[in-house]
Amino acid sequence: MHAVISCRNFILSFALALASALAGQPAAHSQTETPHLLKSEALAVLNILSIQKSSLNPEWRALLHCLPLQGEECTSRVATQGFFLSPQGKNDPDAELQAMVSSLFDSAQASDPADRTRCRYPARFEWIKTQAGELASTIPNPACPALDEWMTALNPSGLTLIFPSSFINNPASAFGHTFIRIDQPNQTEETRLLAYSVNFAANTQGEAALLYAFNGVFGGYDGFFSVAPYYEKVTKYSDLENRDIWEYPLNFSPSEVRRVVLHVWELRDVPFYYYYFDENCSYQLLSLLEVARPSLALSSEVNLWVIPVDTIRAIQDRQGLIEKSIYRPSLATKLRHEISLNSNSITELAKTLATPEQAIDETALQKLSTSERIQTLDLAYDMLTYTRIRERRDDAVSRERGWKLLSLRSAISTPSTLPPPQPPAVRPENGHGTMKLTAGMGLEDGDLYETLAFRGAFHDQLDSVAGYIPGAQIKFLDLQLRYDTKKELSVDRFTFFDIESLSPRDVFFHPLSWNVRLGSERERISTNDWAQVWGLQAGGGMSKSVGENGLLYGLLESELQASSALDTALALGAGPRLGLILPFNDRWAVEAKTLYEYFFAGDEHSKFESSISQRVSLDKHFALRLGYHNIHDVGEVSNRVMLELEYFATPVW
């Protein structure tokens, strides 16, 4: 034991002597003697870190958000120089490490804890101490009351990745969202709502959706990390936006969890570059997880875009990080489930009971059996709760109706026997890939042609619905090339975006179905001529469920066309579209639709289209699609038959 202590003292003395020699000062042994001594000890620590090449360590680079995590080059994704102590720290990890160590010693005696570097950068501080080895005890460790109070409140024990499903009515969450929950020891199903969550989002300052889309794509916003109670997120995503939530506990060690939480403290009010398609919420969470374990190497593999569900797939494939999932159905999902299990008469009575302006018919309730009364009162209270949350109603009449329903329900001691909604058979990360490549052959008016198509994201109405939301379509960067018998290569279509929400209506829910599309298509403009015509299309209407996942819908659409091939370059039209989507099983689905548009302004013409297509999934990655398309345009009729082989892939991982 004495030998170990003597060896430790020798190493410490040698490092201090070496640092003093480099500084041209005598060796010292107590950090409280003189300011020169503090400088010597800082130099000693820096010398040890330099010998170990600590500035090249992926853990240090992850704390600076460097890309790449390996090597000497550094491009930090932090948008402000204020996060760094060195003027060169944003791109020079070694300079930042030197500035950090010096500042730890220089700021240790600051009267305000907020000015102490150890209190401002606790994750960096703890990492440097682990690297300093025998010299760790020489590094000042001043008190940080605010940090200690914060860590006590969070009480971190684990991390859970949270995935609220896509919310097509909000461009910021059209592809879904991810954030992290900080779990506490001995957390239960009931208490997890009280935990805290870490979220990354753009600071849009409430700007309109179109302005958000432009600024988000071209980097017009800064993004920030924030910490908030988990129940606030559940209220927003699950109750207000009707989004089911998936929870994925992450297999991190206590020390890794602590490092992430301490680093979140460092990121308070720190702006990051924000881009909707790549440096978004999911990308920044990947970089946060790399702070815990840089060997995950997640952010360095990002290319053109990052889709939240793809990041779940990436994390799932890394070192057994995800071992299970927990499904949290939204209030709307629970309500639809209850309605599906009850008769129409019970549902109608529950709607009446859930309407505060209507009197409660207790006579009608008494005519029901005990189980029917239970189901009616439970459903009525859930309907009332949903309406109050959605409409933000907190009036006395609504509160009184809620208490009355609870009073009637509490008079029946028997619990409900209705089963809760079950998780979907396929989790979001186990659905088809978000990128699609397609090769096809077609026959149009007797002429053969070949096609090759690429779709950057995400899902269309005829794709397999497993892992996706029925009726929600997002097609982005959809390009199809055509090669015909004349050996001419042309663009058959290019869709910048095509978003469609077919939300079915029922006895309680009355959502609007809508679509919006921007892109170009090869269209006939005369008997023998075809041209690329750009179109901006939007419409609204209604949808109705058919079977388990089938949809019958009708939309009234308008379209603005633009092309130099049109007589007046522009054309404005409108007309109805009717459609039927029938998924017969997990592998086979059929879609039939018809569209009529009359262009009454600009280039006057009409267009009538009808089609029927079917998709057969071979497995999760491959599918066959066979379709027939009939088009009446500018007085001509075209018939097209297409057979396509589709390949679904994850774009990055």
Two tokens, residue 192: 């997890």
Contacts of 564 (CB under 8 A, 6+ apart): 531
Mean predicted confidence (pLDDT) in 65-70: 88
| Fold matches, 152-328 and 431-649 | no
Instruction: Supply the pLDDT for residue 266.
Output: 96
User: Which residue type does 505 have?
Assistant: R
Taking only the tens place, the pLDDT of each residue in 101-118 is: 999 999 888 899 989 999
Q: Is the pLDDT score of 12 beyond 50? A: no
Instruction: Give the pLDDT confidence of 408-454 residue by residue, as tens digits.
Output: 999 998 888 889 999 999 999 999 999 999 999 999 988 899 999 99
Residue 526: its pLDDT value, please? Answer: 75
pLDDT at 303: 64
**pLDDT of the residue at 596:** 96
- Give the pLDDT of residue 134: 87
Cα–Cα distance measured from residue 452 to residue 440, given in angstroms and rounded to the nearest whole number: 6
Q: Where are the domains of the chain?
A: 2-143, 152-328, 331-410, 431-649
Contact 608, 400 (CB under 8 A): no
Q: What is the pLDDT of residues 270-320, one digit of tens each?
A: 998 888 777 788 888 889 999 999 988 887 766 667 888 988 988 888 778
Per-residue burial over 299-327, b if 16 or more Cβ lie within 10 Å, else e, is beebeebbbbbbbbbbbbebeebbeebee
Q: What are phi and psi of 621, to 5 degrees?
A: -105, -25
Mean predicted confidence (pLDDT) in 6-11:
40
Q: What is the mean pLDDT of residues 157-170?
A: 88
Amino acid at position 231, single letter = Y
Question: What pLDDT is attached to residue 206?
Answer: 65
What DSSP string describes 156-211? --EEEEEEEPP-TTSGGGTT---EEEEE-TT--TTGGGGSEEEEEEE--TT--HHH
Q: Is the confidence at residue 14, as pLDDT, over 50?
A: no
Residue 153 has pLDDT above 90, yes or no: yes
Q: Which two tokens stand for residue 470?
A: 């029925």
What average pLDDT does the chain have? 87
The model's pLDDT over 516-551, given as tens digits with 9 standing for 90+, comes to 999 999 888 776 778 889 999 999 999 999 987 899
Total residues belonging to the chain: 653
115-135 pLDDT, tens digit each: 999 999 999 999 999 999 888
pLDDT of residue 28: 37
> Which has more confidence, 319 or 145?
145
Give the tens place of pLDDT for each residue, 610-629: 999 999 999 999 999 999 99
What's the distance, CA 399 to chain centroid? 35
- The residue-averaged pLDDT of 27-42 equals 51
pLDDT band (50, 70, 90) for residue 219? low
Residue 542, helix vs strand vs coil:
strand
Query: Cβ neighbours of residue 56 under 8 Å, at least 6 residues apart?
Result: 71, 72, 93
The SS3 assignment for 577 reads strand
Residue 8 scores a pLDDT above 50: no
Distance CA 76, CA 299 (A): 12
CA distance linking residue 449 with residue 458, whole number of Å? 26
Q: How is domain 431-649 classified at the CATH fold level?
A: Lipocalin (2.40.128)
Q: What is the pLDDT of residues 368-397, one digit of tens each?
A: 999 999 999 999 999 999 999 888 888 889
Peptide bond into 458 cis (omega under 30): yes
Q: What mean pLDDT comes out for the span 572-582?
A: 96
Give pLDDT, residue 213: 66
Question: Is residue 68 reached through a cis peptide bond, with omega within 30 degrees of 0 on the bond before it?
Answer: yes
- Model confidence at 645: pLDDT above 70: yes
Using one digit for the tens of pLDDT, what is the confidence trace for 329-343?
Answer: 999 999 999 999 999
* Residue 35, pLDDT above cutoff 60: no
Q: Average pLDDT in the 577-603 region?
A: 94
CATH 3.40.50 given to domain 152-328:
no
Q: Is the pLDDT of residue 72 over 90?
A: no
Residue 40 binned pLDDT confidence (cut-offs 50, 70, 90): confident
Say if residue 210 is exposed, middle or buried (CB neighbours under 10 Å; 0-12, 13-18, 19+): exposed
Phi, psi at 192, each rounded to 5°:
-65, -25
- What's the burial of 551, exposed, middle or buried (CB within 10 Å: 0-12/13-18/19+)? buried
